[in-house]
Amino acid sequence: MKRGIIASPAKMQRQSYNGVAVSSNITIQDLYYYILYYDKVVLPTNGMIHYAIPHEEMLISENIVSRPRVNFHSWSTSSQVNLFLESQKIVANDLIKNEKDVDWILHQIGEELILGDKNVKEFNSLKVEINECLPVPTQETSIEDIIDFKRRRQSELDELHETLDSFYFEIINSPDKDFQSKKSLLKLKKVLENVNQVSNEKFSLSSKYNLVTELNFGNLITGLTSGVTLGFMTNPQIIPLTSIIGAALSFVSIKANKTISVEEAKEKIKLSYLANAKKDKII
């Protein structure tokens, strides 16, 4: 199955007065991250404000990125952020509902998933963070080299997603906290090591991206499972990955959480992705 993301072309930031604002466009490195690690990249736009992305015309013509437009009847300067949030949610609901042959997931770049208060559903979740795990070339790299690498190394990238999905499935179905010895984690370490190795062989300068995935615990918060969840709330599990992928602070963290996503995500295991880059470049 193809892996697809519905992401925003803008980064959101929560303000001190409890509001939300657009902080910036996504960077070219963020775009490289999306292109490298996902089969289908959807960045909704709207009829009021269009945030262009680097190499937009070429990426659309090559079917690497799509930019569906959501039209709104009215707009004010105070609702700019809502245009991006609502566009992302509308397109996400539509794709998850109608394109079942793709594993569609909401995605944002930043420290926190921000979707606003409207047209969202609250979920019990397990928050799985894999810290400093995914290498992404810096903006000095050409878009042609990114696309070429993606095509040549598609098998390694597919294996990464299959291994991540197996790991997530095992967490949801066997939340006994003894993950350190599980086969899926051991395989994940190996696959991450391989992805980092082939990336380092091709690109001389890159950054490591963190990946946070919210897993849907649904209505399983009862009986034995509620006890397991309480354990994760009080004692989140942290599993070091340092020796495997060469990052000093690399680890897997698993903890109970409450999160939001779109209504159509209610039957999915993965509710959302969140990613951000470590600021230091790796040579």
| 4: three-class secondary structure by DSSP | strand
User: What angle (nearest 5°) sits at the alpha carbon of residue 136, between those of residues 43 and 129?
Assistant: 80
User: Which is it for strands 121-137 and 206-216: parallel, antiparallel or unpaired?
Assistant: antiparallel
Q: Give the Å distances, CA to CA, from 146 to 86, 134, 149, 242, 282.
A: 30, 14, 5, 26, 17
- The domain total for the chain is 1
User: How does pLDDT run across 37-81, given as a tens digit for each residue?
Assistant: 999 999 999 988 899 999 999 999 999 999 999 998 876 655 678
- Burial code of 219-238, b = ≥16 C-beta within 10 A, e = fewer? ebeeeebeebbebbeeebbe
107: nearest Cα among 20, 253, 4: 4
Asked whether residue 147 is assigned to any structural domain, the reply reads: yes
Asked whether residue 121 is assigned to any structural domain, the reply reads: yes
pLDDT higher than 70, residue 176: no
The structure tokens 């960045």 sit at: 43
Q: Which amino acid appears at position 211 of this protein?
A: L
10: nearest Cα among 50, 69, 61, 56: 50
User: How does pLDDT run across 133-174, given as a tens digit for each residue?
Assistant: 999 999 999 999 999 999 999 999 999 999 999 999 888 887
CB 64 within 8 A of CB 147: yes
Asked whether residue 79 is assigned to any structural domain, the reply reads: yes
- Burial code of 72-90, b = ≥16 C-beta within 10 A, e = fewer? eeeeeeeeebbbbbbbbbb
Asked whether residue 264 is assigned to any structural domain, the reply reads: yes
Which residue range(s) make up the domain with 220?
A: 2-277
Asked whether residue 205 is assigned to any structural domain, the reply reads: yes
Asked whether residue 100 is assigned to any structural domain, the reply reads: yes
pLDDT higher than 50, residue 224: no
Asked whether residue 282 is assigned to any structural domain, the reply reads: no
38: nearest Cα among 198, 131, 167, 164: 164
Question: Looking at residue 27, what DSSP letter applies?
Answer: P
pLDDT value, residue 171: 84
User: How does pLDDT run across 197-221, given as a tens digit for each residue?
Assistant: 999 999 988 999 999 999 998 755 4
Question: Looking at residue 259, what DSSP letter applies?
Answer: E
- Strand extents, DSSP E, the chain: 2-7, 10-14, 20-25, 40-42, 45-46, 65-66, 69-70, 102-109, 121-137, 206-216, 237-240, 251-261, 270-277
pLDDT value, residue 221: 47
Express as a percent the part of the chain with pLDDT over 90: 61
Asked whether residue 125 is assigned to any structural domain, the reply reads: yes
